[in-house]
Structure 1
Amino acid sequence: MDTTGLLLSAVGTVAGVVSAYFAYVAVRHQLARHRRRAAPRTPLPAPSPANGAARYDVFVSYGREDTDWVHSFAERLGEKGLNVAYDEVVSRPGGIRVHTVEAAIREAAHGVLVFSPASMSSGWVRQEYAALMQSSIESGRLFIPVVVGDVQLPEFAATRYCADFRRVGDGAGDDGVYEQRVDEIARAVRSR
């Protein structure tokens, strides 16, 4: 082999080693970036106390102006055998509202949000919506939008079938439609 061939062979070998090294560095860099992006999220705490069962069947979020409607609605769900939580049920004198509501959402198997003009303008309800929706997406908990007013559902809520109470009264003189809707919700919660 002449000197030129030997020189070209050496240059080719060095070029191959250098390109292999840079490919190795690029792959390591990509893997490190992927690991940083795919770092596991802190999972939500379990939906229940130590015994493995949820403390509440459902947590109900709503706007203040809908309190009377929600009291009646929660009572009807209770009559269907569900253990219903909402802020007034779980609050205690001297308790811190945000911690109490967070615990109730965490300890509920599923979530209901009453969508009305009042709830759509409430900062508290927006926070509860975020927690309920995140829990539904990450943990598979049921999220049921209950519509009682003329509102447009947020995008994520609109992906769920809603219980529409807009043209339904409070159960008195509505041909049983109110009770039918409450029954549908209770069956959905019990079946999960």
Structure 2
Amino acid sequence: MLVDTTGLFLSAVGAVAGVVSAYFAYVAVRHQLSRRRRRPVPSIAPPEPVPSAEGGPRYDVFVSYGREDADWVRAFAARLREAGLNVAYDEVVSRPGEIRVHTVEAAIREAAHGLLVFSAASMSSGWVRQEYAALMQSSIESGRLFIPVVVGDVELPEFAATRYFADFRGLDDRSGHDGVYERRVDEIARVLHGR
């Protein structure tokens, strides 16, 4: 009977030793995996605005929009320029033969602030989604202003919805509306000028 008890005891010790060694192997593997996850991922966010020859950003604001809103954006950007702002958007910064993604990326990087025109067209555009991501990340990481401008009946994405938006639904530069359009453009211009 003594032999049977000793064998049982040694079997139990062996089982415990196996469980303990399996646990330590598990901990070692988890530690290695968590170290891999913590490695810094290189950022592809636009850096701080690139200074112009005068020392400030090259553009006061970059405007992102959907193609179908191009006429509205041209008139809107013209009003911002009349208010003394240097406005960048794809049609303004593009030159024949240049690569679109590089040109737009440079304009976003060289702008002090960002503005996105939200409409059904912009919400369904792959280009606008990429520009939105760059503008929002830049706003969060470097404090640049991000201004949502709503021109259509759309639900703002979660991050954009954290900002007060400029409501231009039903308004354009020819709409009259007792000067509401002009007052909203002026308000955006004042904010972008830092006033």
* Contact 1:147 1:166 (8 Å CA) reproduced: yes
Map of 1:45 onto structure 2? 47
Residue 167, structure 1, aligned to residue 188, structure 2: no
* Structure 2 CA distance for partners of 1:99 and 1:153, relative to 1, 3 Å: same
Residue 62, structure 1, aligned to residue 68, structure 2: no
Quote the offset at 1:53 in angstroms. Answer: 1.1
Q: Which runs of 5+ in 1 are unaligned?
A: 1-25
Quote the offset at 1:33 in angstroms. Answer: 4.0
Matched residue count:
165
* Contact 1:77 1:182 (8 Å CA) reproduced: yes
Please give the alpha-carbon distance, in whole angstroms, between the structure 2 residues aligned to 1:53 and 1:41.
26
Quote the offset at 1:99 in angstroms. Answer: 0.2
How large is the Cα RMSD of the aligned pairs? Answer: 2.4
Residue 94, structure 1, aligned to residue 105, structure 2: no
Please give the alpha-carbon distance, in whole angstroms, between the structure 2 residues aligned to 1:183 and 1:71.
16
Map of 1:188 onto structure 2? 191
Aligned to 2:97, the other structure's residue is in SS state coil
Map of 1:81 onto structure 2? 84
Map of 1:120 onto structure 2? 123
Please give the alpha-carbon distance, in whole angstroms, between the structure 1 residues aligned to 2:63 and 2:52.
23
1:142-181 matches, within 5 Å, as 142-181=145-184
Percent identity over the alignment? 77
Please give the alpha-carbon distance, in whole angstroms, between the structure 2 residues aligned to 1:102 and 1:95.
12
Residue 50 of structure 2 aligns to which amino acid in structure 1? S
Aligned to 2:62, the other structure's residue is in SS state strand
TM-score with structure 1 setting the length: 0.78
* Contact 1:171 1:177 (8 Å CA) reproduced: no
Please give the alpha-carbon distance, in whole angstroms, between the structure 2 residues aligned to 1:140 and 1:171.
34
Q: Which runs of 5+ in 2 are unaligned?
A: 1-27
TM-score with structure 2 setting the length: 0.77
Output one character per residue of 1:73-132: Cα deviation in whole Å (capped at 9) or x when no partner: 000000000000000000001000000000000000000000000101111000000000
Residue 131, structure 1, aligned to residue 123, structure 2: no
Please give the alpha-carbon distance, in whole angstroms, between the structure 1 residues aligned to 2:70 and 2:191.
23
Please give the alpha-carbon distance, in whole angstroms, between the structure 2 residues aligned to 1:169 and 1:108.
24
